C-alpha cells in the first residue's frame, strides 16, 4: 500500500511539475509577445495574419475592366507601380466625395487606392479619383479662335 502511495505521490508531483512548467512557458510566451515588435505577415503562418493593407497613389497607367480578371495599374510620381485586381462587386469607386461607376476610371486619371494583399496578389478595396484628365476633344469640336 505504501508503494502505491509513493507512486501516486510521484505521479502527482510529475503532473503538478508539468502544469507549472506549462504555465511558466505560457507566461513567458505572453511576455515575449507583448515585448516583441509587430509580427511580419510571413512570420505568423495564419492566412488572416498574412494579409497586408496599403495605399497606392498615382496615375492609372493601364486599365483592364473587361477581362475575367479586371485590373488597374497605378504608377506613382516616384515610379513605384501597383497592379491591383478590381472585383466590381467588392471595390468602391468615388469622385468628389460621391460614389462613381467603374467606368469613371480612365488611363491618366490621378487616383488613390486602398488595397489588401495576400501571397503577393493585391486587390483594390476602394479607389478615389482625385483628378481626371480633361476630356479628349476632336479638332472639329475645338474652337480655333
pLDDT along the chain (145 residues), means of 10: 52 44 45 36 46 92 94 96 95 94 94 92 96 52 44
How many C-beta atoms surround the C-beta of residue 91 within 10 A? 21
Q: Residue 16's pLDDT is what?
A: 42
121-131 and 81-85: which strand pairing?
parallel
CA distance 114 to 72: 12
Q: Is this model's pTM higher than 0.75 or not?
A: no
Let me know: does 131 contact 109? Beta carbons within 8 Å.
yes
Q: Cβ distance 71 to 51 under 8 Å?
A: no
Three-state DSSP class for 70? coil
Contact 56, 42 (CB under 8 A): no
Three-state SS for 5? Answer: helix
Q: Which pLDDT value is given to residue 83? A: 96
Q: Which residues make Cβ contacts (< 8 Å) with residue 88, sequence separation at least 6?
A: 65, 70, 102
Amino acid at each position: 500500500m505504501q508503494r502505491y502511495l509513493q507512486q501516486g505521490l510521484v505521479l502527482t508531483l510529475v503532473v503538478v511539475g508539468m502544469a507549472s512548467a506549462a504555465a511558466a512557458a505560457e507566461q513567458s510566451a505572453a511576455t515575449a509577445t507583448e515585448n516583441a515588435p509587430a509580427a511580419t505577415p510571413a512570420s505568423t503562418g495564419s492566412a488572416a495574419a498574412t494579409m497586408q493593407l496599403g495605399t497606392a497613389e498615382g496615375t492609372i497607367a493601364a486599365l483592364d475592366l473587361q477581362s475575367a480578371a479586371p485590373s488597374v495599374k497605378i504608377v506613382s510620381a516616384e515610379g513605384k507601380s501597383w497592379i491591383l485586381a478590381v472585383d466590381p462587386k467588392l471595390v468602391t469607386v468615388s469622385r468628389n466625395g460621391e460614389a462613381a461607376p467603374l467606368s469613371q476610371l480612365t488611363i491618366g486619371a490621378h487616383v488613390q487606392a486602398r488595397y489588401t494583399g495576400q501571397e503577393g496578389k493585391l486587390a483594390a478595396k476602394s479607389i478615389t479619383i482625385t483628378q481626371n484628365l480633361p476630356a479628349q476633344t476632336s479638332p472639329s469640336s475645338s474652337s480655333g479662335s
